[in-house]
Chains A and B, each alone.
Chain A
Amino acid sequence: MKVAVLKGGRSLERGVSLRSGARVEDALERLGHEVLPIDVGADLVKRLVAERPDVAFVAMHGVGGEDGTVQELLEILGIPFTGPNAAACARCMDKVQAKDAIELAGLPTPHWFAFNQTAFREFGAADALGRLEETLGFPLVVKPSRGGSSLGVRFARSAGEVPQALVSAFSYDDRVLLERFVDGRELAVSVLGDEPLPVVEAILLEGDRYDFEARYEIGRTRFACPAELSAEEERAVTEAALGTYRALGCTGFARIDVILGDEGPWLLEANAIPGLTDTSLLPQAAEAAGLSFEQLVEKILDLALKPAAA
């Protein structure tokens, strides 16, 4: 089969995407497929039309590749592709939209407020901040609505820290959300097709738990897979994640990030195209379920080609 691997692009997560893409290409070759690597740029449509791949493996992260843009093009060109469809990608990418959908589905997500820059620049939204802080309490988390990894995510421990955190978050997107901080274990549930994979737990080994960078650095965070959970905890977490996956309209795969607090699981966000590098969580979860990376890639391709059978 001729498989186009879409990777790179112009997003801030270009580096991770190139690593994901390269690893997928290796696996596809080992599986005997004809691989067409494409570093996504202005000639994308031209190349896809000329090369006519049977399927596209989307290994892109961040704006452009994970937000439905590339998926929309593939839908127009009639090329089957891996991962969620354009609409689901757009919902997952935008944390505000995602949280709306999660809440609508009756699932718990930490209380939040969203703002765009115009609100602050033109409508004096700063005057409303005091009220929000009363509702959300401290510390609170400030995030760009669209953005991947830890980029632009900041904790504010007091009202005085909010403006600076907002300036950081607004560097990545015109819309940001302020979210109540929920304490608990950090879990990720990858879903493949309609099946949840074993839960992964991120355990911070050193440093400040408010330091988001640490989570993405080898050596500062350890990942336990499967996470040590009671049967009841595991059921609650998995069900909440599956509910989120469905609420967002995901197909193929996605990774749902969950905080397990004393009161139960809190849904934070969904990643439509989770990383596929050698340190990423989806491949780890697949391995814990007995799937090698090749088997994972093959399964993802199958799901792209036979979505109904999934």
Chain B
Amino acid sequence: MAEVPEPTHRRRSHAGTRDLERYAGLFAERTSVMRSSAMRDLMAITARPEVISLAGGLPDTSTFPPQSFAAQMTRIAQESAAKALQYGPTEGFEETKDCILEVMGAEGMLPDPDDIIVTTGGQQAIDLVCKTLIDPGDVVICEAPTYPGAIPTLCSYQADVVQVECDEDGMQVEALEQLLADLRGEGRRPKFIYSVPSFQNPAGVTMSLERRRRLVELARDQELLVVEDNPYGLLRYGGEPMPPLYQLDGGDFVIYLGTFSKILSPGIRLGWAVAPPPVMEKIVLGKQAADLCTSTLTQYFVREYFAERRWRRYVDDLVEIYRKRRDTMVEALRANFPAEATWTEPEGGLFIWATLPDYIDTSDLLAKALRADVAFVPGQAAYVDGRGSHSMRLNFSGVNEDEIREGVRRIGKVIAEQVDLYGALTGEQQLPEPREESAPNVVPFRKAGEA
């Protein structure tokens, strides 16, 4: 047998890769907008095991039955090993698209399979859309607040991101119309409007039917693209289902992004995009350049899993679990947050957005919260311009009910200390009173048109 040389170093064997100065001159212009900040350093320490993290966006994968996982993987190994270990088509397998059609069908959408591409998670779908559409300096419109994970993607393509305020009915489409008119006045046309219309990350709000219709109409009239990101649509815990923008539009001006992450597993990294054929053609070329194809192994897994015909039941199970967790968090917020705080009560999804009195900066609060072993996402992460500093995103799907109660109690305690201190500093007695059950503070955003 041939001798295998012993590795000589724990890390790289060559010297000096950390010496930035040797490489800095080679960096692309776009890396200068990939900023690191003190807040990011703070987020890095939320991973300590003793910290109850309400900061993540993690679905609960512990309820997925291991026997089912084992059976599917065994079947793949026995029946399709060679194919499952091989490259696949860039667009994804037809069988995967059949599963996607089922998922989209469950929300009333019926796209042409040729308009679908299977991607490495929903995040790649966002990246590919940006890669296809954005030149440096192009305007992209998104919600305020917006999905924090979209910001680095938009910035790395050097988009000029403009955010439109949300209220409890989602993006204020009236404000969007005004913005579009203003941009037109400057001779600028946005490349696309990015929206998470259902159970928005991070705000938890859902766009009203009226606004959905108006948004789709605007897109048609002005020939604008809307990128609808809908990872949570099937995770509804109350209220009536809302038609996706894609369904209202029929797929002419809406590019649709979906994912298996929240209804099955984020670990399999399977998402998709649906786009009109000319756009899809470019997206496919972009995907080819990025990674040739999405993991064939996990596509086989999804195919086997869907063949069991119980995926809807699993989603129903998740809905039951998450509904209880949402209720627990809302209850804990009422019991522990001060009277001046407001928060959303989402009808689905994974997140609650809480807004504190404007003298509390949630990045500073996070430093205090971490000492109390609890974490959340400071609101600034959801804005490109430093706003959001009085808000926070709280996740209720990734931790159990006891942890939610304890986590919110800890955050409530550090907030109470700051409220108390501010009261002492300003001479106003703002001592936090335990909230009355009858006074839920559920409206975090101003309704459009209100003073």
Contacts and interface: CB of A to CB of B under 8 A. Distances in A.
Interface string A251-289: 000000000000000000000000001110000000100
Nearest to B369: A171
A166 B425 contact: yes
A163 B38 contact: no
Contacts of A126: 424-427
Nearest to A126: B425
A278 B427 CA distance: 46
Which interface class (under 10, 10 to 19, 20 to 34, 35 or more) fits B? 35 or more
B16 A218 contact: no
B368 A121 contact: no
Contacts, number: 101
Which interface class (under 10, 10 to 19, 20 to 34, 35 or more) fits A? 35 or more
Interface in A145-170: 149-152, 162-164, 166-168, 170
Contact of B426 (A14, A163, A220): A163
A168 B18 contact: no
Contact of A279 (B20, B37, B368): B20
A10 B371 CA distance: 9
B359 A15 contact: no
B442 to A, nearest CB: 25
A221 B33 CA distance: 13
A32 interface: no
A146 to B, nearest CB: 12
Interface in A6-25: 10, 12-16, 19, 22-23
Interface of A: 10, 12-16, 19, 22-23, 26, 29-30, 117, 120-121, 124, 126-127, 129, 149-152, 162-164, 166-168, 170-172, 213, 216-220, 277-279, 287, 293
Contacts of A12: 41-42, 45, 367, 370
Nearest to A121: B424
Contact of B361 (A150, A168, A287): A168
A213 B38 contact: yes
B9 interface: yes
A171 B37 contact: no
Given A167-B418, A167-B425, A218-B32, A14 B41 contact: yes
B38 A121 contact: no
A170 B421 contact: yes
B313 interface: no
B19 interface: yes
A217 B35 contact: yes
A30 B19 CA distance: 13
Interface of B: 9, 11, 15-21, 32-33, 35-38, 40-42, 44-45, 48, 359-361, 364-365, 367-368, 370, 418, 420-422, 424-427
Question: Which residue of B21, B370, B424, B426 has the most chain A CB atoms within 10 A of its CB atom?
Answer: B424
Given A10-B45, A26-B17, A216-B37, 10 more contacts: A12-B42, A15-B44, A19-B18, A30-B16, A163-B359, A167-B418, A170-B421, A172-B367, A216-B38, A278-B20
Contacts of B44: 14-15
A171 B365 contact: yes
A171 B18 contact: no
Contact of A152 (B21, B37, B364, B370): B364
Question: Which residue of B17, B35, B364 has the most chain A CB atoms within 10 A of its CB atom?
Answer: B364
The 5 tightest CB contacts between A and B, nearest first, are A278-B20, A15-B41, A171-B364, A163-B425, A164-B359
Contact of A293 (B19, B33, B38): B19
A12 to B, nearest CB: 6
12 contacts: A12-B42, A14-B45, A26-B15, A120-B424, A126-B424, A126-B425, A164-B361, A164-B422, A168-B364, A171-B361, A278-B20, A293-B19
Contacts of A29: 9
A172 B364 contact: yes
A120 B9 contact: no
A132 to B, nearest CB: 12
A163 to B, nearest CB: 4
A169 to B, nearest CB: 8
A249 to B, nearest CB: 29
A219 B361 contact: no
B36 A278 contact: no
A60 to B, nearest CB: 13
Nearest to A150: B38
Nearest to A161: B359
Contacts of B32: 218-219
Contacts of A129: 425
A287 B426 CA distance: 49
B256 to A, nearest CB: 35
B160 to A, nearest CB: 15
B359 to A, nearest CB: 4
A37 to B, nearest CB: 8
B420 A217 contact: no
Nearest to B370: A12
Nearest to A24: B18
Given A120-B425, A152-B367, A167 B41 contact: no
Contacts of B422: 163-164, 167
